[in-house]
């Protein structure tokens, strides 16, 4: 550090009367003498007044954030965490090994309504589906668990199932390694925070809200919107499409715009031949799980839930039925229900953003699906023969 004086430059450390103004002495300045401990006096402040004011400011800001999202149409609901999934998964190991398990991506998760299923079957199924995630991640886990001897309904969303896409694929590993502190944290959150605060949904976290603003686009980064909030979750993972997607035209248009962007070709898309191989690999993976499950008497049923509009067009183009759904049933030897094959499942459903049913139609769809399942499939004896060889 230097200073100018009459055209010359002086080092501050060479000016004793100035040196103490910018730095205390160091060990080099005081050879043979221990370095002194710096003293940092805390000025006297009216802490008794400051703390209440700080608390009031915190409460006002928190309340304002909560009010903002309530005004947007948000209501409190459960966070769809790995810990919430783990609670349901542990039911199998805690005595419900013969239960009906639902697994799949968001269509099984959002569309099948657990209270309707329970009313018809007399028993609530275990919901282990996860949005944006191939069910094979969790079918692998069930196939390896000797405690599971019940029935499993496997949802097939073509773009997720046949690519092995695993957006939320960590829950099984999390369940097997979940610590006591993580369990306590999940328990506290689901009882004292999530039921009361609307803003606590991950979609409304300040970090995400800021990231969604119209910032200047960085070169080389795809200009695509992230998927927004689509569903409301309950403590036992019963889930339904968020009403705002159905009733708010602007928000519905946003959801469709996001899907439309996903349908556009990108540099990340696999070449045609690689995609065909991915499809074959995932079918072979499913066949291996079916063999393991059937060996224990588990009944496996694949279900293709409804889709519509641009989403269905996209699926039919990239994942033709003959190469995907039909091949899956042929190779695994397992039965399946495709919504287009049953008039009661191929109605004029309300799918606001082409991919998920409204809550009201989800209830109707669940009742129709359950009746088909019990009438045509799960009353029949379990077939124990091995599935066909993988392609």
Question: Over the chain, what is the mean pLDDT?
Answer: 90
Position with higher pLDDT, 39 vs 136? 136
Residue with tokens 């509009």: 309
The stretch 193-202 carries a mean pLDDT of: 96
CA angle centred on 62, ends 57 and 66, rounded to 5° = 150
pLDDT tens readout for residues 142-168: 999 999 999 999 999 999 999 999 999
Residues in a beta bridge with 3: 10
- Residue 282 gets which letter from DSSP? H
Of 124-133, 238-247, 265-274, least confident by mean pLDDT is 265-274
Token couple for 141? 């886990």
- Residue 239 bridge partners (DSSP): 233
CA distance 337 to 329: 10
pLDDT value of position 71: 97
Question: Residues 6 or more apart from 76 whose CB is under 8 A from it?
Answer: 194, 195, 196, 197, 198, 200
Span 251-302, pLDDT tens digits: 999 999 999 999 999 888 999 999 999 999 999 999 999 999 999 999 999 9
How confident is residue 9, by pLDDT bands cut at 50, 70 and 90? very low
Q: In Å, how far from its chain's centre is CA 232?
A: 12
Residue 384 has pLDDT above 80, yes or no: no
Task: Give percent of the chain with pLDDT exceeding 70.
Answer: 87
Q: How confident is the model at residue 16 (pLDDT cuts 50, 70, 90)?
A: low
Beta bridge partners of 1: none
Winning range, highest mean pLDDT, from 10-14, 105-109, 266-270: 105-109
Determine how β-strand 151-155 pairs with β-strand 231-233.
unpaired
Q: How confident is the model at residue 24, as a pLDDT?
A: 58
Is the pLDDT reported for residue 186 higher than 60?
yes
List all residues 6 or more positions away from 151 whose beta carbon is below 8 Å from its beta carbon: 99, 100, 101, 298, 299, 300, 301, 378
Residue 266 confidence (pLDDT): 87
Percentage of residues of the chain with pLDDT beyond 90: 80
Position 7 scores a pLDDT of 44
Give CA–CA dist 240/230, Å, rounded: 9
CB distance 254 to 269 below 8 Å: no
Question: What does the pLDDT read at residue 112?
Answer: 98
Average pLDDT value for residue range 180-208: 96
Residue 382: pLDDT band by 50, 70, 90 thresholds?
A: very low
Answer whether residue 76 shows pLDDT above 90: yes
pLDDT of residue 380: 55
With a cut of 50, say whether residue 203 has pLDDT above it: yes
- Evaluated on CA atoms 139, 142, 143, 144, the torsion sign reads positive
Question: Which secondary structure element, helix H or strand E, spans residue 299, and what is its range?
Answer: strand 299-304
Rounded to whole angstroms, the Cα distance separating 219 from 222 reads 8
Q: Specify the DSSP class assigned to residue 319.
A: S
Q: State residue 3's pLDDT score.
A: 45
Alpha helices in the chain (DSSP H): 16-22, 47-72, 82-93, 106-111, 114-121, 136-143, 158-161, 171-177, 180-192, 206-211, 243-247, 249-263, 272-294, 309-318, 325-332, 359-376
Domains, in order of start, for the chain: 78-216+224-376 (3.40.50.1110)
């Amino acid at each position: 550090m230097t200073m100018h004086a009459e055209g010359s430059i002086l080092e501050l450390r060479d000016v004793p009367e100035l040196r103490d103004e910018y730095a205390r002495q160091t060990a080099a300045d005081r050879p043979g003498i221990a370095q002194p401990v710096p003293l940092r006096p805390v000025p006297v402040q009216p802490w008794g007044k400051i703390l209440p004011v700080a608390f009031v400011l915190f409460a006002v800001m928190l309340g304002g954030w909560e009010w903002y999202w309530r005004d947007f149409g948000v209501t409190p609901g459960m966070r769809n965490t790995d810990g919430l999934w783990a609670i349901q998964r542990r039911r199998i190991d805690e005595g419900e090994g013969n239960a009906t398990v639902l697994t799949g991506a968001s269509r099984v998760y959002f569309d099948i309504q657990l209270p309707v299923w329970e009313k018809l079957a007399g028993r609530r199924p275990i919901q282990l589906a996860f949005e944006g995630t191939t069910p094979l991640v969790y079918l692998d886990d069930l196939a390896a668990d000797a405690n599971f001897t019940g029935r499993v309904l496997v949802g097939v969303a073509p773009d997720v199932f046949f690519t092995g896409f695993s957006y939320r694929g960590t829950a099984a590993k999390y369940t097997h390694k979940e610590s006591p502190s993580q369990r306590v944290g999940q328990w506290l959150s689901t009882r004292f925070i999530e039921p009361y605060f609307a803003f606590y949904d991950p979609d409304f976290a300040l970090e995400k809200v800021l990231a969604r603003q119209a910032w200047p686009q960085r070169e080389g980064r795809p200009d695509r919107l992230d998927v927004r909030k689509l569903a409301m979750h309950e403590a036992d993972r019963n889930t339904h499409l968020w009403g705002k997607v159905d009733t708010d035209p602007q928000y519905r248009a946003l959801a469709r715009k996001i899907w439309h962007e996903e349908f556009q070709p990108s540099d990340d898309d696999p070449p045609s031949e690689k995609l065909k191989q991915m499809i074959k690999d995932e079918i072979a993976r499913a066949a291996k799980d079916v063999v393991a499950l059937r060996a224990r008497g588990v009944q496996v049923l694949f279900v293709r839930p409804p889709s519509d509009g641009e989403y269905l067009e996209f699926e039919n183009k990239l994942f033709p039925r003959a190469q995907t759904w039909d091949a899956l049933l042929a190779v695994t030897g397992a039965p399946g229900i495709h919504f287009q094959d049953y008039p009661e499942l191929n109605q004029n459903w309300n799918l606001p953003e082409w991919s998920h049913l409204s809550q009201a139609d989800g209830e109707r769809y669940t009742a129709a699906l359950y009746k088909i399942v019990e009438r045509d499939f799960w009353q029949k004896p379990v077939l124990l023969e091995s599935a066909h060889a993988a392609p």
